[in-house]
């Protein structure tokens, strides 16, 4: 097996091992780590058709994390994908009439972030051991709602780590907020910021690239890492379910082995869909990756005009986990389609003017978006047609997919990537089904949704409104670094 190293998207001289890339999260110049060369799989699609999620995870992870031993990788995988998930399939593919949904919300926090964040703590601890790191690892994370909770669950009470999560005070759903503010664990810290997700993400990135501050932290026995999708340790585990979805399609006879399919992906930070791109580069027969945005349609405009322009009003939508104007992982795609010099130049433009130009062909990626109205209509339509209840993010992908089909008449079999449980966004989901729910209490509606589905409220959020609120801190968006210094008692 070839050794795979990682290089910064902005500096060709900054090359590190896989475990170092996971530990650093982001490179010193603010770039992201990408594989120096794409690994070549030693399996064929037909070999993976009958694999379990864990078996498949091993096949994919070993290609990218080549300085981990088989034993280490299997330990990480077994620890992550266990009974924390409410189905042994881990990521089941559900067919409703002619629609296919890849459900990525069966983990502990009911969103797709669990797919990678249940394994990241194990990867990180193993990486630290391998590199002889004896400092306490401090995970700093900005969240648009789902990453925060998934990271908190992953790292709570993990020895040798602390985790600090920043979320936009007024930019997450009621259930999302309560999930975070009731988080237990001695090493957890949750902070609302007066700003939006981009402010939180920018603040975290600034801390990461503040070398003076990092030195201070080191002197106090701390090392920073990130649980955001800028960490390659999050991206790689997400490649697995693209293969796994394909395997399930073959297994159930929906497609023949080798047949081409498409995915519609609800997109924010571009991490999920980028994992689909990596799957394609590894040989998965993908026709289109439909990049679905909500009204923050910066990516739709980018794929259609070649201009990425974040200078626009930030919209708060019913799919808050996609309320993002700076999609960090797009930097990785740009690097793969160009080089370090170009990437660095464009990212400097983005920082300076809030925009840049780069044309990407529509052969693989296709941008669409859904308005709020179209999102509600999609939930309603699918529910009426099949009884299946999509969450608001999944609905954005569904609506975007329908627009794509209308525009192109492409009838390639397409999987809708379903990123959250409807229970996380209960009020908006139920409102879409019947306006009468609009005025009701978010937490009461959990039971209503369960009744409609003839199911139970998922255990992780049952009685969440009765739990103790343990995190009440709020800080200004430019006070994040000071907050961290104070929390860690930095001298
Ligand atoms: C994070 C998230 C997304 C967006 O995923 P990216 O990898 O950031 O593009 C979509 N839907 C849900 C529910 C999410 O939590």
Q: What is the pLDDT of residues 49-90, one digit of tens each?
A: 999 999 999 999 999 999 999 999 999 999 999 999 999 999
Asked if pLDDT for residue 44 goes beyond 70, the answer is yes
pLDDT (tens digit, 9 = 90+) per residue, 328-383?
999 999 999 999 999 999 999 999 999 999 999 999 999 999 999 999 999 999 99
183 within 8 A of 152, measured Cβ to Cβ: yes
Nearest-angstrom CA–CA distance, 271 and 293: 13
Q: What's the CA-to-centroid distance between 397 and ligand 1, angstroms?
A: 11
Q: Closest residue (by CA) to atom 8 of ligand 1?
A: 269
Handedness of CA 476, 480, 484, 485 (dihedral sign): negative
pLDDT at 173: 87
Q: Closest residue (by CA) to atom 2 of ligand 1?
A: 321
Nearest-angstrom CA–CA distance, 276 and 255: 18
For 56-121, the three-class secondary structure string (H helix, E strand, C coil) is HHHHHHHHHCCCCCHHHHHHHHHHHCCCCCCCCCCCCEEEECCEEEEECCCCCCCECHHHHHCCHH
219 within 8 A of 192, measured Cβ to Cβ: no
pLDDT at 305: 97
pLDDT (tens digit, 9 = 90+) per residue, 454-463?
999 999 999 9
Give exposure, 280-313, as e/b (b: 16+ Cβ within 10 Å). Answer: bbbebebbbbbbbbbbbbbbbbbbeeeebbbeee
CB atoms within 10 A of CB 413: 14
Q: What's the CA-to-centroid distance between 323 and ligand 1, angstroms?
A: 9
Instruction: Taking residues 26-31, report their average pLDDT.
Output: 91
Ligand 1: atom nearest CA of 394 is 11
Asked if pLDDT for residue 151 goes beyond 90, the answer is yes
State which of 109, 147, 321 you would mutate to test the pocket of ligand 1, scoring each by most atoms of that ligand within 8 A of its C-beta.
321
pLDDT at 359: 97
Q: What's the CA-to-centroid distance between 404 and ligand 1, angstroms?
A: 20
CB atoms within 10 A of CB 456: 9
Look-up of token digits 């237990």: 184
Q: What's the CA-to-centroid distance between 273 and ligand 1, angstroms?
A: 9
Q: Residue 289: which H helix or E strand, with range?
A: strand 286-293
pLDDT at 128: 94
Mean pLDDT lowest among 89-93, 196-200, 339-343, 446-450 = 196-200
Q: Could you give the percent of the chain with pLDDT greater than 90?
A: 93
pTM: predicted TM-score of the whole model, two decimal places = 0.95
Q: What's the CA-to-centroid distance between 324 and ligand 1, angstroms?
A: 10
Q: What's the CA-to-centroid distance between 325 and ligand 1, angstroms?
A: 13
Asked if pLDDT for residue 144 goes beyond 90, the answer is no
Q: Tokens at residue 190, please? A: 């949750």
Cα of 198 vs its chain's centroid, Å: 15
pLDDT at 80: 96
Selection from 239, 234, 198 nearest residue 59 by Cα: 239
Q: What's the CA-to-centroid distance between 191 and ligand 1, angstroms?
A: 20
Look-up of token digits 């703590």: 121
Q: How much of the chain is in helix, strand and coil states, percent to nearest 5? A: 45, 15, 35
Asked if pLDDT for residue 399 goes beyond 90, the answer is yes
Nearest-angstrom CA–CA distance, 388 and 453: 8
Q: What's the CA-to-centroid distance between 215 and ligand 1, angstroms?
A: 33
Nearest-angstrom CA–CA distance, 21 and 31: 11
Q: What's the CA-to-centroid distance between 395 and ligand 1, angstroms?
A: 13
State which of 32, 102, 111 you would mutate to test the pocket of ligand 1, scoring each by most atoms of that ligand within 8 A of its C-beta.
111
Residue 136 class from Cβ within 10 Å (0-12 exposed, 13-18 middle, 19+ buried)? middle
- Output the ligand 1 site: residues, CB below 6 A: 111-113, 146, 229, 266-272, 321-322, 393, 419-420
Instruction: Taking residues 379-396, report their average pLDDT.
Output: 98
232 within 8 A of 21, measured Cβ to Cβ: yes
pLDDT at 364: 97
pLDDT at 228: 85
> Do strands 355-357 and 307-309 pair parallel, antiparallel, or not at all (unpaired)?
antiparallel
pLDDT at 1: 66
Q: Could you give the percent of the chain with pLDDT greater than 70?
A: 100
pLDDT (tens digit, 9 = 90+) per residue, 253-282?
999 999 999 999 999 999 999 999 999 999
Q: Closest residue (by CA) to atom 1 of ligand 1?
A: 321
Residue-wise DSSP of 195-252: S-HHHHHHHHHHHHT-HHHHHHHHHTTEEEEE-STTSHHHHHHHHHHHHHHHHHHHHT
Q: How far is CA 407 from CA 194, 402, 403, in A?
A: 40, 9, 6
> Do strands 261-266 and 286-293 pair parallel, antiparallel, or not at all (unpaired)?
parallel
Instruction: Taking residues 93-105, report their average pLDDT.
Output: 96
Q: Closest residue (by CA) to atom 14 of ligand 1?
A: 321
pLDDT (tens digit, 9 = 90+) per residue, 289-322?
999 999 999 999 999 999 999 999 999 999 999 9
Nearest-angstrom CA–CA distance, 136 and 472: 24
Instruction: Taking residues 23-43, report their average pLDDT.
Output: 94
State which of 235, 419, 421, 423 you would mutate to test the pocket of ligand 1, scoring each by most atoms of that ligand within 8 A of its C-beta.
419
Ligand 1: atom nearest CA of 266 is 10
> Do strands 188-194 and 161-168 pair parallel, antiparallel, or not at all (unpaired)?
parallel
Q: What's the CA-to-centroid distance between 200 and ligand 1, angstroms?
A: 16
Ligand 1: atom nearest CA of 229 is 7
The rounded mean pLDDT for the chain is 95
Asked if pLDDT for residue 472 goes beyond 70, the answer is yes
Selection from 4, 20, 16, 34 nearest residue 340 by Cα: 34
Nearest-angstrom CA–CA distance, 475 and 336: 37
Nearest-angstrom CA–CA distance, 162 and 156: 8
């Amino acid at each position: 097996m070839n050794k795979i190293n990682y290089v910064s998207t902005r500096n060709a001289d900054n090359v590190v091992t896989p475990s170092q890339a996971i530990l650093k999260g982001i490179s010193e110049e603010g770039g992201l780590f990408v594989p120096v060369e794409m690994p070549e799989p030693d399996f064929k699609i037909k070999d993976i058709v009958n694999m379990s999620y864990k078996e498949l995870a091993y096949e994919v992870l070993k290609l990218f994390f080549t300085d981990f031993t088989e034993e280490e990788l299997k330990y990480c995988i077994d620890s992550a994908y266990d009974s924390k998930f409410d189905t042994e399939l881990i990521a089941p593919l559900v067919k409703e009439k002619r629609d296919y949904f890849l459900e990525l919300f069966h983990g502990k926090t009911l969103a797709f972030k669990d797919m990678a964040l249940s394994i990241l703590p194990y990867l990180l601890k193993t990486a630290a051991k391998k590199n002889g790191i004896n400092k306490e690892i401090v995970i700093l994370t900005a969240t648009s709602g789902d990453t925060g909770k998934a990271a908190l669950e992953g790292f709570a009470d993990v020895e040798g780590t602390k985790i600090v999560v920043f979320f936009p005070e007024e930019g997450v759903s009621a259930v999302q907020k309560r999930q975070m503010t009731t988080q237990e664990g001695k090493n957890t810290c949750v902070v609302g910021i007066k700003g939006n997700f981009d402010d939180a993400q920018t603040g975290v990135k600034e801390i990461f690239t503040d070398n003076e501050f990092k030195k201070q932290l080191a002197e106090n026995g701390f090392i920073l890492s990130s649980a955001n999708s800028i960490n390659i340790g999050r991206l790689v585990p997400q490649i697995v379910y693209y293969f796994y979805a394909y395997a399930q399609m073959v297994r159930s006879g929906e497609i023949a082995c080798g047949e081409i399919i498409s995915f519609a992906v609800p997109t924010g930070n571009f991490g999920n869909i980028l994992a689909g791109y990596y799957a394609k580069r590894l040989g998965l027969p993908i026709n289109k990756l439909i990049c679905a945005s909500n009204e923050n349609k910066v990516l739709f405009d980018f794929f259609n005009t070649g201009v990425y322009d974040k200078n626009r009003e930030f919209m708060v939508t019913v799919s808050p986990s996609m309320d993002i104007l700076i999609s960090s992982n797009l930097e990785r795609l740009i690097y793969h389609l160009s080089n370090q010099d170009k990437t660095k130049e464009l990212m400097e433009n983005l920082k300076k003017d809030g925009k840049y130009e780069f044309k990407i062909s529509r052969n693989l990626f296709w941008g669409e978006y859904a308005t709020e109205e179209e999102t509600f209509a999609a939930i309603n339509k699918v529910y009426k047609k099949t009884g299946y209840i999509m969450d608001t993010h999944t609905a954005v992908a569904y609506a975007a997919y329908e627009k794509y089909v209308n525009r192109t008449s492409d009838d390639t079999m397409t999987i809708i990537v379903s990123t959250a449980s409807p229970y996380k966004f209960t009020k908006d989901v139920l409102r879409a089904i019947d306006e009468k729910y609009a005025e009701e209490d978010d937490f009461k509606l959990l039971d209503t949704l369960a009744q409609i589905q003839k199911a139970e409220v998922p255990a992780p959020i049952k009685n969440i409104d009765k739990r103790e609120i343990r995190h009440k801190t709020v800080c200004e968006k430019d006070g994040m670094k000071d907050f961290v210094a104070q929390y860690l008692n930095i001298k």
